[in-house]
Every structure is written in structure tokens, then in C-alpha cells.
Amino acid sequence: MKVKFTHQELLGLQMSINSPSLGDYEGVKFCYALNKNCDKINKECTDIRKAMALDDSLIKKLDEKEVDGKTWEDMGEFLVGADLEDAEKQKAIDKCKENVSFLSQEIEIDVHGLKITDMPVNIKNKHYKLLTPLFNEEKTE
């Protein structure tokens, strides 16, 4: 089943689908679909992160504590005041702006659809909501 996501949505879905608490649920079909989607989504997210990575030499020059946890918008603003050469600084700022735009781009990936009937009966609402992008809405007989 093909589903459209923005890169940002897919990264969020990756965090959700890899949540250890989802592993507590039972059901062969549910677990199969979850594992199959984990593999696909993790691969796509690895590719997204590689495309967004800043140059390693630049990362070494920056204080990791000051960079850690910043959004790409915040990172761009932080780099304006960073102690870097002008050309290097501009290249990094441009990459941050590029990444902000990149996160909003849509991609279509093939996921293994979850059927509502295969969901565990004791699933919590917060987990149900996390998985809704993966629901196969085709009618089943």
C-alpha cells in the first residue's frame, strides 16, 4: 500500500513505530505488520538523515552541547554567530535552510497496511493514533 508522508512526518512515525511499548501488544498479524513497517521506515529515515547531515569537519568545530536538540531553523540562527570562516558558515547556513525545505517535501513509500481487525483489542488510544497512517482502509470480506 502506497502512502504519502512528508520527510518530517516519516521521521516522527519512525520514533513512534520503534516505541518499546508497542512491542507489548499481542497478535501475529499485528506484530508482523509492525516489524515489516519498522524495517521499511527505518531504511527511509536513514536515507533522510544522510541527506540532511552537516559536514563532519563542521560538526567537530562546533560545541556539541550547543548544537544538540536544535531544530534546523534554530541551527541556522545559531550558525550566524558561530566562530567559523565566512564561506564555511554560509555553506552550513544554506544547508540548514535547505533541510527546513527538505523536511516538508513529500515522498511516497510502500508500507504494509494494518487492518483494524488485526489491531490488539487492548491497544491504548495513544498507540492507535500513532499507527493511523498505516491503516489499510480497503474493505475486507
**Helix ranges, the chain (H):** 7-17, 28-52, 56-61, 64-67, 72-80, 86-103, 125-131
* Separation of alpha carbons 43 and 13, rounded Å: 13
Q: Where are the domains of the chain?
A: 2-134
Residue with grid cell 544547508, as numbered in its chain? 95
Q: Say if residues 27 and 118 touch (Cβ distance below 8 Å).
A: yes
- The stretch 20-41 carries a mean pLDDT of 89
17 pLDDT above the threshold of 50 = yes
Residue with grid cell 497478535, as numbered in its chain? 27
The confidence score (pLDDT) of residue 130 equals 83
Side chain identity at residue 1, one-letter code: M
The confidence score (pLDDT) of residue 141 equals 39
